[in-house]
Amino acid sequence: MLRLDTLHDTPVERDPFEHVIVKDFIGREELNKALADYPEVPGPGSHPPSSLKVTGAFKDLMDEMLDTPFRNAIEEKFAVDLTDRPTMYTVRGFLRERDGKIHTDSKTKIITVLLYMNGDSWESPTGRLRLLRNGSDLDNYAVEIEPVGGTLLIFKRSDNSWHGHHPFKGPRRAIQLNWVTDQSVVDREQGRHGFSSKIKRLFQPALSWRR
């Protein structure tokens, strides 16, 4: 499902920090199949796979993203050794207005992967992730990423890997995958997101935006 050859052929950009953006990282047919099986999420925030029903083509997609060839491609691209580094992933389906504040990701994360799972276009001027040159100004950015379906962003976490977006409220699907420093990070973060997901499922109806 993954177009690893396209990732191999895409150079690393270093402004404002090391990153790679690949459009159409998944073929349209494969993307549509994965979208048809996209898990229902119980509201905004990040949801770990343990709290979701991960099946069908969406599971196939995640299996490929967690497999060795994708990891090897990232290692080669960013000159980083991810051997024995644990992975974790979460799924989003909806943004709140308070989401998207400027941050760098925690120091326990080594590599961050974002794969957008929306439609063919993104009409809103907000909700577009910006890679920033500082930690205080959303308008001082090097690149703005339209979160259309199949767009891939990978970046190496650093003290200056600032990113964020202007507030958006509504459906916005994305998968976040991280390689992290050790298993305790996975246990802590997946537990935290899992507890939050369970609470949301208890107190509000499940939200689903199938297209």
Neighbour-count burial for 178-201, b at 16+ CB within 10 Å, e otherwise: bbbeeeebbeebbeebbebbeebb
- The average confidence (pLDDT) of the chain is 90
Please tell me the distance from the alpha carbon of residue 204 to that of residue 170, in angstroms, as a whole number.
Answer: 16
* Residue 209, domain member (yes or no): no
The side-by-side arrangement of strands in the sheet containing 141-145 is 141-145, 129-132, 163-164
Q: Pairing mode, if any, of strands 87-95 and 170-180?
A: antiparallel
Q: How confident is the model at residue 203 (pLDDT cuts 50, 70, 90)?
A: low
Please tell me the distance from the alpha carbon of residue 175 to that of residue 152, in angstroms, as a whole number.
Answer: 10
Nearest to 140 by CA among 156, 122, 164: 164
Please tell me the distance from the alpha carbon of residue 13 to that of residue 15, in angstroms, as a whole number.
Answer: 6
* Residue 105, domain member (yes or no): yes
pLDDT of 210 reads: 38
* Residue 21, domain member (yes or no): yes
Does residue 196 carry a pLDDT above 70? no
The total domain count for the chain is 1
Q: Percent of the chain at pLDDT above 90?
A: 82
Predicted confidence (pLDDT) per residue in 143-192, tens digit: 999 999 999 999 999 999 999 999 999 999 999 999 999 988 887 776 65
pLDDT of 54 reads: 95
Nearest to 114 by CA among 82, 147, 138: 147
* Residue 208, domain member (yes or no): no
Please tell me the distance from the alpha carbon of residue 175 to that of residue 114, in angstroms, as a whole number.
Answer: 6
pTM of the model as a whole: 0.88
Please tell me the distance from the alpha carbon of residue 191 to that of residue 89, in angstroms, as a whole number.
Answer: 12
* Residue 121, domain member (yes or no): yes
Does residue 119 carry a pLDDT above 70? yes
Predicted confidence (pLDDT) per residue in 55-69, tens digit: 999 999 999 999 999
Predicted confidence (pLDDT) per residue in 17-47, tens digit: 999 999 999 999 999 999 999 999 888 888 9
Q: What is the CATH number of the domain that holds 150?
A: 2.60.120.620
* Residue 33, domain member (yes or no): yes
pLDDT of 195 reads: 45
CA dihedral 73, 75, 79, 82 (to 10 degrees): 180
- Give the range of the structural domain holding residue 65, as residue numbers without chain letter: 4-203
